[in-house]
Amino acid sequence: MTGKVIRWGLALLATILVALGSLGMLLQPYSFRGSLIDPPVPATDFTLVDQHHQPFRLSEQRGKVVVMAFGYTLCPDVCPATLAEFKQIRRLLGRQADQVQFVFITVDPERDTPTRLGEYMQAFDASFRGLSGDMTELERAWQGFGVYHEKQFLDSAAGYLVDHTARVYVVDVHGNLRLTFPFGTATQDMFEDIQYLARERI
């Protein structure tokens, strides 16, 4: 009888220890994979035009996580790779995908018309917003997020390429710049951080 009681007691103790361990994991703060901006800073607001000729104002996206990349449609490497990652992240988000807006802002407004951006977004995901606009608002967006861009002229039909910042920027549901991801961050790491932010509420 005593042995049975001891075994029962040990089993109960093991159950309690497992439960406490699980609770401890739940209570631990989330550890972001991307570059956390702490404390968060209000994201620079801007108004641009998307591929449907509709205005897109960043401050009007409150309640959603906004994931932004800056680039151009003739980019040979970084931009298609980044948008392919966005497509994969959106798929992984499943039902949460409606709580996240993926945005691509041109650094080549001379060539990236709304029509051209629309064709480019369609090749990845039609829900992505491809943004262009007047130079004043574009400069505001570029400078607000510290985006570098410079033409590199070529002796070819393309005319030029554009060197540009390859970092991804994440604005949370409160309109704060919360995270950035350097180019080459693992897609799974980006997904987990974005998914975590999508669970937050205003």
pLDDT in tens, 35-73: 999 999 999 999 999 999 999 999 999 999 999 999 999
Q: What is the pLDDT of residues 108-151, one digit of tens each?
A: 999 999 999 999 999 999 999 999 999 999 999 999 999 999 99
Please return the burial class of 51, using the count of CB atoms within 10 Å of its CB with bins 0-12, 13-18 and 19+.
buried
What's the pLDDT score for residue 24? 45
* pLDDT band at residue 155 under the 50/70/90 scheme: confident
Least trusted range by pLDDT, from 6-10, 36-40, 145-149, 180-184: 6-10
Query: CB within 8 A of 62, min separation 6: which ones?
Result: 173, 174, 175, 202
Closest listed residue to residue 93, CA positions, set 64, 114, 122: 64
Strand 47-49 and strand 55-57: the pairing is: antiparallel
Q: What is the rounded end-to-end Cα distance, in angstroms, of the chain?
A: 57
What's the pLDDT score for residue 25? 42
